[in-house]
Amino acid sequence: MNADRGRAAAETGARPAVRVRRGAAPEAPMRVYIWSGSSPPGSQGGAGEGEAAGRGGVVIELTAWLRVFMVAAGSLVALPLAGLIGFRHGFAECVGVPDLQREFGASMSDGLRLVLASPRRVFEAGLIDTAPLLLALLLVVVGAAALALAVFGPRAATAGKEPSAGAPPAPSAAGRAASAFGLVVCALAGVFQIGWVIARSHALSGQDLPWAAEPFEAWSAGVRLAAGVDLLTFAAAILWLLAAVRLRWMLWLRALTLVIASSAVAALFAAASISNSIAAQVDQVRSLVAAWDEDAGSAPDLILGHTRSHLVIVGKGGRVELTSPAAALTIVGRASIAEFVDAGRESR
């Protein structure tokens, strides 16, 4: 019956998006494999397809277009989430108005800007301080090497008697030890990356934005350094997670390592979103406004955003105020926060 179904599918040219096969070997990439025993199907020497199927081994294969769809769907969720997290928990906190609002469309565009500006952030971080950037680059390089070794490394030698036809070779004791060592290294890398986020705690970007020129320059340099380093560390966390996924032995250690590595990816995703969003919002051009009853020579105010019921503007001396949206205001120009701070220094 299976042969008839295969011929019918070949004749019609139809290919299922998800194929589930019992007793198959979890060797090919991009497969989700499940088994009921303490080790994957075929891990015992001499075990054939029939015996592997008896142990309940299952391999779920995803077609290429479904994998692309899953990646695209994840990206569509990650972009607005990064923009929203960065704005609400980064920029809104540092200007002292945590209830600043951000619409979904603006969050989507913010997330896209973060991705497009990522090379610039890394370059700026290298100009400010090379030591943290080199440490983050080391994490990326070592993580890429670990992933390449897990994917393209030599197969472990078989132990015991020769396996039957159709069954994958069983790993030797050295192969199992190497897999365990790789999982421990991935777990330690995840712990280090989580500790990186906690120790730094975004001390600079978590402070209130200074509106005086000299403190602002030091604060802005710290934020840009944090943005570039966080991006590289986030990339390293993804590589270490992928390396842990490729190591498929010692299930309890693998599960623990995946939890740690996933937590590191989530923590660094939030950290990179916050620091990069603050840097992007500082560079974003905003409207300069003046009240109708003010003198023509007075310095204009800068609109930062809005809450549910008020406009948020920053005026002379860096005074952040809530203004009624019905107030009579005139747009007199455009400037970024950095340009606004520099203009305040020049006016003095």
Q: pLDDT tens for residues 221-269?
A: 888 998 999 999 999 999 999 988 888 777 888 889 999 999 999 999 9
Using the predicted structure, report yes or no on whether residue 121 has a pLDDT greater than 90.
yes
Q: Give the pLDDT score at 132.
A: 86
337 Cβ partners below 8 Å, 6+ apart?
Answer: 209, 281, 282, 283, 284, 286, 302
Q: How many residues are present in the chain?
A: 348
Using the predicted structure, report yes or no on whether residue 172 has a pLDDT greater than 60.
yes
Q: Give the pLDDT score at 94.
A: 87
Per mean pLDDT, which range of 61-65, 113-117, 147-151, 306-310 is the poorest?
61-65
Query: Distance between CA 219 and CA 210 in Å, rounded?
Result: 8
Q: Give the pLDDT score at 261.
A: 92
Please give the angle made by the CA atoms of 72, 77 and 80, to the nearest 5 degrees.
Answer: 125
Please give the angle made by the CA atoms of 148, 121 and 135, to the nearest 5 degrees.
Answer: 50
Q: Give the pLDDT score at 341.
A: 86
135 Cβ partners below 8 Å, 6+ apart?
Answer: none
Average pLDDT of 36-59? 44
E-strand ranges in the chain read 18-22, 31-34, 58-62, 286-291, 301-306, 311-314, 320-323, 329-335
Query: Distance between CA 116 and CA 203 in Å, rounded?
Result: 25
Q: Give the pLDDT score at 47.
A: 43
Neighbours of 258 (CB within 10 A): 18
Indicate yes or no: pTM above 0.85. no
Q: Identify the top-confidence range among 33-42, 148-157, 299-308.
A: 299-308
Q: Residue 160's pLDDT band (boundaries 50, 70, 90)?
A: very low
Q: Rounded to the nearest 5°, which phi and psi values hold at 286?
A: -130, 175
CB 301 within 8 A of CB 325: no
Query: Distance between CA 192 and CA 203 in Å, rounded?
Result: 18
CB 334 within 8 A of CB 303: no
Residue with tokens 């390449």: 148
Q: Give the pLDDT score at 28.
A: 47
Q: What is the mean pLDDT of the chain?
A: 76
Please name the amino acid found at residue 9: A
Query: Distance between CA 296 and CA 303 in Å, rounded?
Result: 18
Query: Distance between CA 282 and CA 220 in Å, rounded?
Result: 8
CB 234 within 8 A of CB 275: no
Q: Give the pLDDT score at 153.
A: 67
Using the predicted structure, report yes or no on whether residue 78 has a pLDDT greater than 60.
yes
Q: Rounded to the nearest 5°, which phi and psi values hold at 331?
A: -80, 120
Q: Give the pLDDT score at 266.
A: 93
Neighbours of 150 (CB within 10 A): 19
